[in-house]
């Protein structure tokens, strides 16, 4: 009987080792205030230099879009949706809290952002291999969903969306 129990523990350990590790981004704007979301933008700017803020669009209720451009007219779009109910964090009750985040950029820029967020070394040519609507990530003690898909903004552009 003892050998059967021991064999069960060994089999369980092998299953856990084979499981794909959950991605853990170093920084996101999800579940943060808008001021922290602005710091996220600053951090992304360090990861993909050459982009300058062109304009901020906050004409739609509870949605902020920031458009960045390079001298070569490449575009980086950052979009946040927020709620003022504080989300799951009582200390933020009544404050705007980011509940949705989307990044859009050309493949090379998106690869740079992905590499910065997840400490990886992918290239723009590998973005298609990452495309998925069912990626779970772990951030701030919670599991979130990440979607990577081609963006209809232009050929070679990709979107990375983060949801609670």
- For each successive 10 residues of the chain (164 residues), what is the average pLDDT? 44 46 88 90 88 92 94 95 71 78 96 96 94 90 94 92 93
d(CA 159, CA 131): 9
Q: In this structure, how many other beta carbons lie within 10 angstroms of the beta carbon of residue 163?
A: 13
Residue 128 lies inside a defined structural domain of this protein:
yes
Query: Residue 49, class by beta-carbon neighbours within 10 Å (0-12 exposed, 13-18 middle, 19+ buried)?
Result: exposed
Q: Does the reported pTM lie above 0.85?
A: no
- Is residue 4 situated within a structural domain? no
Q: What is the pLDDT of residue 153?
A: 85
pLDDT at 47: 86
Q: What is the pLDDT of residue 133?
A: 83
Q: Are strands 142-150 and 132-139 parallel, antiparallel or unpaired?
A: antiparallel
pLDDT of residue 10: 45
Q: How many domains are there within the chain?
A: 1
The answer to the question of residue 5 being in a domain is no
Domain membership of residue 56 as a residue range: 21-163
The answer to whether position 9 is within a domain reads no
């Amino acid at each position: 009987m003892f050998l059967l129990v021991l064999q069960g523990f060994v089999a369980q350990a092998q299953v856990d080792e084979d499981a794909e590790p959950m991605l853990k981004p170093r920084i996101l704007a999800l579940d943060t205030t808008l001021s922290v979301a602005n710091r996220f933008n600053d951090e992304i700017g360090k990861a993909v230099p050459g982009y300058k803020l062109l304009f901020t669009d906050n004409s739609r209720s509870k949605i902020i879009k920031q458009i960045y451009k390079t001298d070569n007219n490449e575009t980086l779009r950052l979009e946040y949706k927020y709620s003022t109910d504080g989300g799951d964090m009582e200390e933020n009750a009544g404050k705007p809290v980011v509940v949705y985040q989307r990044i859009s950029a050309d493949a090379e820029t998106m690869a740079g952002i992905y590499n910065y967020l997840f400490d990886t070394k992918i290239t723009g040519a590998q973005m298609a291999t990452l495309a998925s609507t069912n990626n779970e990530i772990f951030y701030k003690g919670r599991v979130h969903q990440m979607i990577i898909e081609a963006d209809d903004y232009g050929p070679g552009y990709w979107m990375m969306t983060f949801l609670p």
